Amino acid sequence: MGDKLSVQQIEQYRDAGWVSPVPVMSSDAAATARSKLETHEATLGHPVDASQRSKCHLLFRWVDDIMRDDQVLDAVEDLIGPNILCWNTILWIKEPQTASYVGWHQDLAYWGLDNDELVTVWVALSPASEASGCMSVIPGSHHQLLQHDETWNKDNLLTRGQELSIDPAEYPIVAMALEPGQASFHNVRSAHGSGSNTTDDRRIGLSMHFMPTHTRQKLSDWDSAALVRGSDDYGHFEHSPQPMHDFDPVAVEFHRRASKALRDIVYAGTEPDTTTL
Ligand SMILES: O=C(O)CCC(=O)C(=O)O
């Protein structure tokens, strides 16, 4: 066992599909990560765009470090066991006073995975409050897959603008507000979403998507993931390289291939008119 989460937290995750807040890094470490991101953005002259937000552990060494940190992995091990792959990492950025939001959705509907064991760890690199558009979850929603509509709404940060075809107001929603360095954990089938950022600060989160090594990808013959703990007796995913530094050419080239495969998976069966991934 990783021995990070309490028995009560593990039971809550199993019963309700989420647990939050869990401290996984100090507020200073979160501030350092934010400043590395923003130093990079200063050299770009604009916020990181879609091409660098997904699978970002292959581009930024500091993301790879957070993804492999024991404080994160001990908690993940408590939930899915000792042999762990990280399938994806995503930077979720809502600029101050902007309309961007995340529609209510369940990730398993779009990720092509053959089981419901994946756990998302979402760590706050800036304050995630209800005013800045923190994530909310519907407790217990991980027990069944619900119907989604695809709106392609440009303000919806999801790939297809997907939205659950339910009225969330009829459910007991829990807002998972986080201070920098705290994380929320939710199951791949938990219904979750978030509102827009009405504050003057950016809302920056890093999500990391961990799954047991026996998981398979159903929508592609080839997919990749980072082996972050234990061993992989299955080989269903090609193991991605660990970058030695930011924009390590070997990892950047792998990112190109891995991002293409990921796009094909999350847009499977559609003719996308936008690429928000
Ligand atoms: O950042 C958000 O508000 C939503 C993130 C999300 O949907 C996820 O991490 O699964």
What CATH number does residue 169 fall under? 2.60.120.620
Residue 272 counted as domain residue: no
Structural domain boundaries enclosing 258: 7-266
In a domain, 29, yes or no: yes
164 assigned to some structural domain: yes
Asked if residue 143 is part of any domain, the answer here is: yes
Q: Please report the pLDDT score of residue 272 as a whole number.
A: 54
Phi and psi of 178, rounded to 5°?
-135, 140
Phi, psi dihedral angles at 33 (to 5 degrees): -65, -45
Q: Does residue 277 fall inside a structural domain?
A: no
In a domain, 78, yes or no: yes
- pLDDT on residue 105: 93
What is the reported pLDDT for 275?
A: 47
Higher pLDDT: 111 or 269? It is 111
> Residue 261: how many CA atoms within 13 Å on its side-chain side?
21
Residue 271 lies in a domain: no
Closest CA to 221 of 239, 203, 202, 237: 237
**Mutational pocket test of ligand 1: of 88, 164, 192, 198, the residue with most ligand atoms within 8 Å of the beta carbon:** 192
Instruction: Write the pLDDT tens digit of every residue in 252-267.
Output: 999 999 999 999 998 8
| pLDDT > 90? residue 196 | yes
pLDDT at 271: 65
Mean pLDDT over residues 84-88, rounded?
98
How many domains is the chain built from? Answer: 1
Span from the CA of 135 to the centroid of ligand 1 (angstroms): 6
- Distance between CA atoms of residues 188 and 270, nearest Å: 22
CB-ligand 1 contact for 197 (6 Å cutoff): no
Q: Whose CA is closest to atom 7 on ligand 1?
A: 193
